[in-house]
Amino acid sequence: MTRRLRVAVLLSGSGRTFDNLLAQSRAGVLPIDIAGVVSSRGDVAGVVKARASGIATVVLRRKSFADAAGYGHAIGELLDRFNVDLAVMAGFLHLWSVPARFDGRVMNIHPALLPAFGGPGMHGDHVHAAVLESGAKVSGCTVHFANDAYDRGPIILQRTVPVAFEDTAELLAARVFAQECVAYPEAIALFAAGRLEIVGQRVRIAAANP
């Protein structure tokens, strides 16, 4: 049975993914309520959008903490305060150590087909430029559960796009983002329906109940 989730969004930039999730929530398409936003920067459009939407928003800078564990502890306390079922990283650029109580309850979306083109520094147009440089003919996006390593958690689902010879990083990014807007809500809906099971480093998606 699908349940309505309380969700926190973690961001570091423009808030485009936040926009998509909020719109789908308010349209009744996605069974979530965004209970809070955590940003690693205060001077970004995502913070402005979240506050304008009336959503509790906290800026938590990585440089205020000695290490990923301390940062993760502080983020975990915020997630507890928001009383969330799920945290979704939406362009959140900093590594944080996920507290054990949130194992399997933090998702991330990456603009490439992991495990390729992931890791430290691989975000935004850096990813798409690397895909073009490699000569790959296919790219896409990956939704995965987050752990304590960049882009290494169990993969939930992926969507693909063709890579054209004439592509620039900006053109490829636009096509990939269109698929992100489909993939992330799909993964969140599967979680809400209780259809995701982590088995080792893999995710089993259970069949829908008739």
Which residue, among 16, 74, 69, 7, has the nearest Cα to 40 in the 3D structure?
A: 74
Are 26 and 101 contacting, i.e. CB atoms less than 8 angstroms apart? no
Place of tokens 């990456």: 110
Are 170 and 127 contacting, i.e. CB atoms less than 8 angstroms apart? no
Are 62 and 40 contacting, i.e. CB atoms less than 8 angstroms apart? yes
3-state DSSP helix/strand/coil percent for the chain, to nearest 5? 35, 25, 40
Backbone angles phi, psi at 203, to 5 degrees: -120, 125
Rounded-to-integer distance, Cα 20 and Cα 33, Å: 13
Rounded-to-integer distance, Cα 153 and Cα 202, Å: 9
From 73, 94, 110, 123, the catalytic residue: 110
Q: Could you count the other beta carbons within 10 Å of the beta carbon of residue 59?
A: 14
Rounded-to-integer distance, Cα 72 and Cα 80, Å: 12
Is 144 an annotated catalytic residue? no
Catalytic (active-site) positions: 110
